[in-house]
């Protein structure tokens, strides 16, 4: 047999192997538009306030929805904010899908989507990569990976920002995970979405939508939005309704003569046998679980300390207690906070690992908190100023005072302090600006703004793992905390009008965030403050206020029943602060109705 013949036979064999029993991979490429033959009044014009029917939500979500005022979308930072992935496909939408192929192997690497609504982009990775760790930023579309189950493309999306399951105010937390299934039948694309949100749902929320291939395509691919205040008003006003004060409460069921229990939603109301008066479904945490660790945001393994580039010259060092930030460049390394004591070797290794030939020149403390300053001394000693001294530790003078009160050893305390509302200096070719708020979570905090890198180290003024730890005895106030967050909002600018990325905010604890994350946190505090202020004004006792659960709609996300900072302690701090000052009218409270 000649070599040409052998090659032909081999090639034929290879082709047979390739084209074997099931050469059928669905291609979703094309331009698609929705069909709104289900829930059309909700999906296109928009839901009516107070309609929670069909959602397996919990009491926290109901409270959020009852407090929701659609005017919240007039808040500057919310005006152009897109809907998040759990809602995006439910509302009016058209999208383009194309495939990203590996040019060398022609394997499908990812499916790309451009959504005309809010000009969003999605990448669904099919190359087997894991989901990012817990510290990674969240986006409106989240992080998606896909896998084939025969003809069904199954997609899992995590790292989604907080948003809504319904745009009339049914909330979706940033701990939502969405599993999608895509099926194609000719020019019909069916999508099932199953959302799991342990904060606001008692069980997964299943929906399905149909999309048809557009014969002529669509030209409506851009979303031109420009946020602006068009009326003279407080830009930090957060419209919302106080408990029991929503004038639209009950309107939906009255107008449509619907059974109230059904309109209030809940898993029990989704079953055929449901009747008004049926007992509420019990929360079943097991229903929210089961996800593979590979698809859920994971904390770093215990004991691991890792440096991660954020943007520009700035890095996050995670895994050492409170977040550590490092700014690196020609001048050396500037470190913001040093984490909890006991991991100094790993912290120093992580910092030095970013730039092995550079010295640690500065250490800035955002707070006197032990989990932020625990490695001050060894990190300082590992560095060297241009004068040959160990790296200088800098903090606001109140922080130094607090450390002295707490008997922090001299070697771990700041050598340099400042006393002004702000201080700036150049380092590594960019302005570094320190801001101090006299009373935020306490009287000693510092925010560090890396202006060229466009990154803010917020300290504990902003954190994504709990309610703010307002230390009233140390000068903290709820209004000061809100003011400090408002300053963060003033400094932060999104990368596009669509409220994502741009300025990154590294919180004292938790994941890398952006302006949109801060605005939700600020809104939460304004709303809780207004509720407690209203209760204080009505002469309710502390116990009565706690029993009224003024933070219920956020407890599942930021609260705790045990540990160093419980929901009860948080409510008590605000109560005592407001009671002390007689619950005065405060900026932003005009949003409460």
80-119 binders of other proteins (CB under 8 A)? 105-109
To other proteins, the closest distance from the beta carbon of 469 in angstroms equals 34
Give the DSSP letter of residue 467: S
Give the DSSP letter of residue 47: P
Other CB atoms within a 10 A radius of the CB of residue 193 amount to 22
To other proteins, the closest distance from the beta carbon of 199 in angstroms equals 16
d(C-alpha 484, C-alpha 497), whole Å = 23
Interface stretch with other proteins, choices 263-271, 325-333, 475-483, 539-547 (CB under 8 A)? 263-271
x/- track of binding to other proteins for residues 35-74 (CB under 8 A): xxxxxxx---xxxxx-x-xxxx-------------x--x-
Instruction: Take residue 353 and report the two structure tokens written for it.
Output: 């690992």
Q: Which is nearer to other proteins, 177 or 466 (CB)?
A: 177
Contact 365, 400 (CB under 8 A): no
To other proteins, the closest distance from the beta carbon of 256 in angstroms equals 5
To other proteins, the closest distance from the beta carbon of 484 in angstroms equals 29
Q: Which is nearer to other proteins, 206 or 404 (CB)?
A: 206
What is each CA distance from 246 to 11, 252, 253, 515, 521, in whole angstroms? 72, 12, 14, 28, 22
What b/e readout covers 374-384, taking b as 16+ CB neighbours within 10 angstroms?
Answer: bbbbbbbebbe
- Residues 231, 590, 167, 276, Cα dihedral to 10°: -150
To other proteins, the closest distance from the beta carbon of 303 in angstroms equals 28
Q: Which is nearer to other proteins, 56 or 476 (CB)?
A: 56
Q: Which is nearer to other proteins, 123 or 416 (CB)?
A: 123
Q: Does 452 bind other proteins (CB under 8 A)?
A: no
Q: Does 149 bind other proteins (CB under 8 A)?
A: yes
Q: Rule CB under 8 A: choose which of 1, 5, 19, 387 binds other proteins.
A: 19
Q: Does 389 bind other proteins (CB under 8 A)?
A: no
H/E element holding 547?
A: helix 542-547
To other proteins, the closest distance from the beta carbon of 193 in angstroms equals 10
Q: Rule CB under 8 A: choose which of 168, 323, 338, 367 binds other proteins.
A: 168
Interface stretch with other proteins, choices 167-175, 475-483, 535-543, 568-576 (CB under 8 A)? 167-175
Let me know if 3 is exposed, middle or buried by CB neighbors in 10 A (0-12, 13-18, 19+). Answer: exposed
Q: How far is CA 472 from the centre of its chain?
A: 27
What is each CA distance from 551 to 30, 78, 479, 540, 547, in whole angstroms? 45, 22, 16, 16, 11
d(C-alpha 487, C-alpha 6), whole Å = 74
What is each CA distance from 466 to 161, 203, 522, 560, in whole angstroms? 16, 23, 13, 8
x/- track of binding to other proteins for residues 293-312 (CB under 8 A): -x------------------
The residues, any chain, with a CB within 8 Å of residue 189's CB and separated by 6 or more, are: 28, 32, 182, 183, 210, 211, 212, 213
Interface stretch with other proteins, choices 21-29, 441-449, 451-459, 562-570 (CB under 8 A)? 21-29
Residue 170: name the closest of 192, 137, 139, 197 by CA: 197
Q: Does 76 bind other proteins (CB under 8 A)?
A: no
Residue 453: name the closest of 369, 365, 329 by CA: 329
To other proteins, the closest distance from the beta carbon of 41 in angstroms equals 5
Site for other proteins in 225-254 (CB under 8 A): 254
What b/e readout covers 52-75, taking b as 16+ CB neighbours within 10 angstroms?
Answer: bbbbbbbbbbbbbbbbbbeebebb
To other proteins, the closest distance from the beta carbon of 561 in angstroms equals 24
d(C-alpha 353, C-alpha 360), whole Å = 11
Q: Which is nearer to other proteins, 78 or 397 (CB)?
A: 78
To other proteins, the closest distance from the beta carbon of 276 in angstroms equals 10
- The size of the interface with other proteins (CB under 8 A), counted in residues, is 95
Q: Rule CB under 8 A: choose which of 1, 16, 386, 473 binds other proteins.
A: 16
Interface stretch with other proteins, choices 123-131, 344-352, 416-424, 454-462 (CB under 8 A)? 123-131
To other proteins, the closest distance from the beta carbon of 280 in angstroms equals 16
x/- track of binding to other proteins for residues 198-217 (CB under 8 A): ------xxxxxxx-x-----
Interface stretch with other proteins, choices 121-129, 375-383, 450-458, 567-575 (CB under 8 A)? 121-129
* Cα R_g (the chain), whole angstroms: 26
Site for other proteins in 532-561 (CB under 8 A): none
Instruction: Take residue 322 and report the two structure tokens written for it.
Output: 């409170």
Q: Does 147 bind other proteins (CB under 8 A)?
A: yes
Q: Which is nearer to other proteins, 260 or 309 (CB)?
A: 260
Interface stretch with other proteins, choices 258-266, 307-315, 445-453, 585-593 (CB under 8 A)? 258-266
Site for other proteins in 169-188 (CB under 8 A): 169, 179, 181, 183-188
Angle subtended by helix axes 567-581 and 515-537, to nearest 10: 60
d(C-alpha 439, C-alpha 491), whole Å = 19
């Amino acid at each position: 047999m000649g070599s040409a013949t052998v090659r032909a036979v081999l090639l034929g064999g290879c082709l047979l192997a390739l084209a074997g029993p099931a050469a059928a991979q669905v291609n979703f490429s094309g331009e698609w538009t929705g069909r709104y033959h289900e829930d059309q009044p909700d999906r296109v014009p928009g839901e009516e306030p107070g309609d929670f029917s069909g959602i397996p939500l919990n009491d926290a979500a109901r409270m959020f929805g009852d407090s929701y005022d659609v005017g919240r979308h007039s808040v500057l930072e919310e005006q152009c904010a897109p809907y998040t992935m759990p809602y995006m496909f439910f509302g009016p939408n058209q999208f383009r899908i194309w495939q990203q192929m590996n040019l060398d192997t022609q394997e499908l690497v990812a499916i790309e989507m451009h959504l005309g609504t809010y000009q969003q982009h999605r990448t669904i990775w099919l190359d087997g990569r894991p989901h990012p760790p817990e510290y990674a930023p969240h986006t409106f579309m989240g992080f998606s990976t896909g896998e084939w189950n025969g003809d069904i493309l199954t997609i899992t999306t995590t790292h989604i920002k907080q948003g809504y399951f319904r745009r009339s105010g049914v909330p979706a937390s940033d701990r939502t995970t969405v599993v999608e299934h895509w099926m194609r039948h000719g020019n019909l694309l069916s999508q099932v979405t199953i959302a799991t949100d342990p904060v606001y749902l008692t069980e997964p929320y299943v929906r399905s939508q149909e999309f048809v291939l557009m014969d002529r395509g669509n030209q409506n691919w851009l979303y031109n939005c420009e946020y602006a205040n068009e009326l003279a008003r407080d830009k930090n006003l957060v419209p919302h309704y106080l408990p029991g004060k929503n004038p639209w409460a009950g309107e939906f069921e009255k107008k449509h003569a619907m059974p109230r229990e059904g309109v209030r939603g809940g898993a029990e109301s989704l079953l055929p046998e449901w009747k008004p008066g049926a007992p509420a479904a019990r929360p079943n945490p097991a229903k929210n679980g089961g996800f593979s660790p590979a698809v859920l945001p994971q904390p770093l393994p215990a004991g691991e300390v890792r440096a991660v580039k954020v943007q520009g010259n700035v890095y996050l060092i995670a895994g050492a207690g409170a977040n550590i930030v490092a700014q690196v460049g020609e001048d050396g390394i500037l470190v913001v906070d040093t984490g909890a004591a006991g991991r100094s070797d790993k912290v120093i290794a992580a910092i030095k690992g970013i730039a092995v030939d550079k010295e640690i020149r500065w250490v800035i403390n955002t707070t006197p908190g032990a989990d932020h300053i625990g490695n001050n001394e060894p990190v300082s000693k590992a560095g060297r100023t241009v004068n040959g001294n160990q790296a200088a530790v800098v903090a606001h003078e109140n922080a130094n005072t607090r450390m002295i009160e707490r008997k922090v050893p001299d070697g771990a305390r700041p050598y340099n302090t400042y006393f002004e509302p702000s201080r700036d200096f150049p380092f590594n070719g960019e302005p570094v600006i320190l801001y101090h708020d006299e009373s935020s979570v306490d009287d000693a905090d510092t925010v560090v703004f890396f202006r060229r890198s466009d990154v803010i180290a917020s300290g504990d003024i902003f954190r994504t793992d709990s309610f703010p730890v307002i230390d009233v005895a140390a000068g903290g106030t709820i209004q000061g905390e809100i003011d400090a967050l408002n300053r963060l909002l003033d400094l932060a600018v999104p990368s596009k009008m669509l409220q994502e990325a741009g300025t990154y905010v590294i919180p004292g604890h938790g994941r890398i965030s952006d302006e949109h994350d801060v605005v939700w946190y600020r809104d939460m505090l304004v709303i809780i403050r207004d509720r407690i202020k209203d209760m204080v004004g009505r002469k309710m006792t502390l116990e009565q206020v706690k029993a009224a659960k003024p933070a219920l709609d956020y407890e599942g996300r930021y609260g705790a029943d045990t540990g160093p900072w419980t929901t009860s302690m948080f409510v008590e701090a605000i109560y005592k602060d407001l009671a002390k000052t007689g619950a005065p009218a405060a900026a932003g409270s005009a949003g409460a109705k």
